[in-house]
Amino acid sequence: MIRTSHYLFAALCLGSLFACSRQFTDSYIVPKWCFAVFMLFIVLAYEAVNILFYRQNEQKDTRISVYGFIIVISCCLQAMFGVVQFLGFLQISTTLWVTGSFDNPAGFAACLCAGFPFVGFLLSDSNKYIRYVGGLIGFVIVIAVILSQSRAGIMSIAFICFILLNMKFFHKRWVKYLSLLCFALLLSGCYWMKKDSADGRLLIWRCSVSMVKDAPWLGHGIGSFEARYMDYQADYFRQYGLNRYSMLADNVKHPFNEYLGVLLNFGFVGLLMILALITLLIYCYKKHPCAEKRIAFCSLISIGVFSFFSYTFTYPFTWIVTFLCIIILTKEYIAKVFTCPIIKNTVCIFILLCSFWGIYNLVKRVMAEKEWGNTSRLALCGASGKTIPAYAELEKQFENNLYFLYNYAAILLENKQYEESLTVALQCRKYWADYDLELMIGENYQELDKYELAERYYDNASMMCPSRFLPLYKLFHLYKNMGNRKCMLRVAESVIDKPMKIKTSAIRMMKREMKSEQAQLLIEENNN
């Protein structure tokens, strides 16, 4: 029986997958989170009221099955969206082929992999036509993940397929070993498919391990990767010099491993808590095994495998699926808690109050996000000077938002308000170690004639991303303003000799200018 809660859950899933809005500065991820959180509060409030004032007459298993069907249908629609993109019937704003309603293949594949095991609800149905539909949907999802070229997605899907086949068909030991060998070969193939990208992630993990060593037990705190990682990457190249990773190092915003992210934020204490939760879920599965729990467990495994190689929990849909799986695995124990009327009523009232409070604050945040989006678009149209009062007002609501602070500092710099820009940029620097931010701070210091500080930030930007030319180019002109001919020659030579990762007209222009400047400097030295 389809109930109101099912319609609400369907809206929650579809919104977390498809919500996009150009009214936000981030058109893809922020709208999904805003819609998902809003619908989550609505679902929780509805369920709380329902439990408080109405009897539950429907069977729990049926309800869970319906939730599984909703996830499958949502993933099927997203997969079809991606396939249509691949066939060229939809115009997308990125250069990548298959991203679905996301800005990159990682989010697209992560959500599909999270929902893929729920196809089992259709495959286990007594109606053969529903089973056929389930098989077709599963095939479409697999094809969409492959077309996205997400290596994490391909490995996640392959691992789940191996588990399912092992449960159903593989009874001989040699077949299991052969399957593991095939998975190992697939892993190797995914590495060689995008070798440079894979080696770049090895660099990220290596530098992240150094971060873990500095705060192993409790971690560096929430947001520590954004706040500190690029400094560690710069220190790595200062220590080991330019090597094979130099051309691969980029401006990094994620550790590309959720477990490593937990270690960085919360240390081994946080990781042990995650492992304890996993152990508890395994216990709950083995204590009351059934088909729906097996599906939920496979979904968590799929998310877990994907999380080894990407940022799975950046997207709200994976959180929704994860919580649903946890509820499925622990439903017997949750039911025991709610048998006590006092506990049940207290929890429901608390959820109800939190939902109202959350909706109120979310509406305020959405209005602020839209105002920021409108202001930033106005600035892009050439009216940045007129937007400064609006940015100053918005800062009260986004004082800890690193992307807003960066945007605000850039607007102030564009309008030559160097002192104000520097103040905001240094505030942003507390939350974000970023290549572009280093350049901005350096430029502000240079314009304020604080050359030593400008040199420090330009040099740090150069170490963060050694393949980039712009920091060296800015350093050259800084030394030119200082009249430091020795450093000018050294930097000019570095720019001339540096190999180009991507051959662009801007880099060629810099090289030509440096050759001309070098020649002029050498002529002046010879004359002297």
- pLDDT by residue (tens digit) across 206-219? 999 999 999 999 99
* Per-residue pLDDT, 1: 62
How buried is 477 (Cβ within 10 angstroms: 0-12 exposed, 13-18 middle, 19+ buried)? middle
Detail the DSSP E strand segments found in 34-101. Answer: none
Q: What percent of the chain has pLDDT over 90?
A: 77
pLDDT digit string, tens, across residues 418-440:
999 999 999 999 999 999 999 99
What separation in angstroms does the CA of 272 have from each of 254, 267, 313, 354?
21, 9, 19, 29
Average pLDDT over residues 170-190: 76
- For residue 358 the two structure tokens come to 């959350």
Q: Where are the alpha helices (DSSP H) in 338-401?
A: 341-378, 384-394
Average pLDDT over residues 359-382: 94
pLDDT band at 109 (very low <50, low <70, confident <90, very high): very high
pLDDT exceeds 80 at position 228: yes
| Whole-number average pLDDT of the chain | 91
Widest Cα–Cα separation across the chain? 97
CB 402 within 8 Å of CB 430:
no
CB 109 within 8 Å of CB 153:
yes
- What's the CA gap between 27 and 29, in Å, rounded? 6
Q: Among all chains, which residue has been given the structure tokens 């249509």?
A: 84
- What's the CA gap between 424 and 428, in Å, rounded? 6
DSSP one-letter code for 312: G
- For residue 470 the two structure tokens come to 């712009």
Characterise 100 by phi-psi region: left (phi > 0), alpha (psi -120 to 50), beta (else): left
- What's the CA gap between 389 and 403, in Å, rounded? 18
DSSP one-letter code for 313: G
Characterise 416 by phi-psi region: left (phi > 0), alpha (psi -120 to 50), beta (else): left
pLDDT digit string, tens, across residues 53-87:
875 544 444 467 899 999 999 999 999 999 999 99
